[in-house]
Amino acid sequence: MCCLGVLAALLTLLSGCMLKTVDQMYCLPRRSEEYHNLQAAMDQVMSGLEYCAPLQGENQQTVQMVDLTGDGQSEALVFAKGVGERPLKIFIFAKEHGAYVNTATIETAGTAFEQVEYADLDGAGGVELVVGRQVSNEVVHALSAYTFSQGTPETLLTANYSRFLTVDLDRDNLRELFLLRPGADGGNGVAELYDYRGGAMERSAEAVMSVPVENLKRMTAGGMYQETQAVFAASNYDEDTIITDVYAIVKDRLTNVSLSSESGTSVNIRNYYVYGDDIDNDGLMELPSLVPMEEASSGGRELIRWYNLTPEGNEVEKLYTFHNYADRWYVCIQRDWVDTVSVTRGADVAGVQGYVFSAGRDQKHQVLFTIYAFTGDNREELAASDGRFPLAKTDEVTYAACLGGGSMGRQLDQKTLISYFNFIREDWKTGEM
């Protein structure tokens, strides 16, 4: 059995890049002998089966090339599905005497491969294969971790989960398995960490979620504070609120650090959820909280206060921003502006109303800067006229600014404001901002 998608994937995986002559560039490509060899080996095992790529995560190819054993030679893993009690199959092909041979087959129950990860869990060389499988339409999935330290797959762990990732929370240069699963009787979810110790995967004490696991929207790992690594699980709390559970190793124990803090939540800004992010690119994940603007003219707009959470649950303030989610940009707000800043819509310029940022109290309230978004054929000209200067641009929009004329506006310069202006990053896994 063969499909164009698989053939394309194999060609990409098995071919290298080199400089070509003009004549070579106009010749029809020749598939490598290695490609034909692997395709022939696959055809021998695929009778009556269909290809079955994983549905989630970074590894969603039907054919994946990975050095499982650590010998410097990549094995080919082919994900397929048939019928019977164990319809899901992973065929592992290794090179022997220059030819691909099916050296092992993993057969499991389930309806689909949900997620596949490769990680060094045991330090024995190579990487372990972690496979999540859908077994029904339920939230709970089945997980198996396999080691290849002896050359063939051996099961390290089986568990149930709703979401998992591999992460090095204890910073020992080996990965652990972090799982979220439903709690008892449909209550709040539970977090578990599996770490390889004494020849086996050892389960940590449980840490609770703030909400049922079905509410989970996004989960990621990253730096929390100084050298501490953490898992950040953002979930729906109610119709317009996101709550972020932060899990880290504290005193050798998996802990939900955010439960010891009064914050750890962020709310909806005009139908846009706000998630934790490395907003200042320092390698640490900042969490958001909202600061309402006091000025009535701001029309209920809010600033976002970003902070790091310490292992003790304390907050370390980092910076403030104004996020324009509708137009996908944000601007940093200086700390001395925060208490009095306002954002209003300005006068029409070529059909565009700018966002006017002002600060100061009473008679001292003055314009800091105005941000415009110009479109059309003359957008570059508009961005650089009448005291405006370009901030950034996309294929269709040129963003520009004009500094205020008061004393506070004169404290800024073009270079500083350009550095304050940024585009909102989109999460490539979910498509959310």
Tens-digit pLDDT profile for residues 5-40: 444 455 444 444 444 444 544 544 555 788 889 999
How far is Cα 159 from Cα 203, in angstroms, rounded to an integer? 10
Residue reference for tokens 């998992």: 164
Secondary element (H or E) of residue 220: strand 216-225
Confidence of residue 69 (pLDDT cuts 50, 70, 90): very high
In the chain, the percentage of residues whose pLDDT exceeds 90 is 67
List of residues 6+ apart from 316 with CB closer than 8 A: 225, 307, 308, 309, 310
Cα–chain-centroid distance for residue 70?
A: 27
Nearest to 329 by CA among 280, 271, 372: 372
Mean pLDDT of 131-158: 92
User: Do the bridges between strand 265-267 and strand 241-250 make them parallel or antiparallel, or are there none, so unpaired?
Assistant: antiparallel
User: Do the bridges between strand 302-309 and strand 287-292 make them parallel or antiparallel, or are there none, so unpaired?
Assistant: antiparallel
The dihedral region occupied by 84, where left means phi > 0, alpha psi between -120 and 50, and beta the remainder, is: left
Confidence of residue 208 (pLDDT cuts 50, 70, 90): very high
CB 232 within 8 A of CB 286: no
**Confidence at residue 15, expressed as pLDDT on a 0 to 100 scale:** 41
For the four alpha carbons of 154, 156, 161 and 167, in that order, the dihedral sign comes to negative
Please report, to the nearest 10 degrees, the dihedral formed by the alpha carbons of residues 78, 83, 88, 92 taken in order. Answer: -30
How far is Cα 321 from Cα 304, in angstroms, rounded to an integer? 5
CA distances from 313 to 129, 225, 246, 285, 307 (A): 34, 11, 10, 14, 11
Residue 350 pLDDT > 70: yes
Nearest to 210 by CA among 136, 165, 265, 156: 265
User: Do the bridges between strand 315-324 and strand 302-309 make them parallel or antiparallel, or are there none, so unpaired?
Assistant: antiparallel
pLDDT tens track for 265-316: 434 444 457 889 999 999 999 999 888 886 655 666 889 999 999 998 889 9
Mean pLDDT of 165-180: 96
Residue 58 pLDDT > 50: yes
Give me 27's structure tokens: 């010749």
Residue 52 pLDDT > 90: yes
Residue 108 pLDDT > 50: yes
List, in sequence order, every residue forming a beta bridge with 56; answer none if it has no partner: 115
Secondary element (H or E) of residue 207: strand 207-208
List of residues 6+ apart from 249 with CB closer than 8 A: 169, 170, 228, 229, 255
Mean pLDDT of 247-256: 93
List of residues 6+ apart from 361 with CB closer than 8 A: 340
CB 356 within 8 A of CB 295: no
pLDDT tens track for 389-418: 999 999 999 999 999 987 777 789 999 999
Residue 159 pLDDT > 50: yes
How far is Cα 415 from Cα 47, in angstroms, rounded to an integer? 63
Q: In degrees, to the nearest 5, what angle opens at C-alpha 245 toward C-alphas 307 and 231?
A: 85
Average pLDDT of the chain to the nearest whole number:
86
Residue reference for tokens 């050892």: 202
List of residues 6+ apart from 223 with CB closer than 8 A: 229, 230, 278, 283, 284, 285
Helix (H, G, I), strand (E, B) or coil at 372: strand
How far is Cα 97 from Cα 41, in angstroms, rounded to an integer? 14
The model's pTM: 0.84
Residue 178 pLDDT > 90: yes
Confidence of residue 347 (pLDDT cuts 50, 70, 90): confident
Q: In degrees, to the nearest 5, what angle opens at C-alpha 121 toward C-alphas 116 and 127?
A: 60
Confidence of residue 2 (pLDDT cuts 50, 70, 90): very low
Confidence of residue 139 (pLDDT cuts 50, 70, 90): confident
Mean pLDDT of 345-356: 88
Residue 429 pLDDT > 70: no
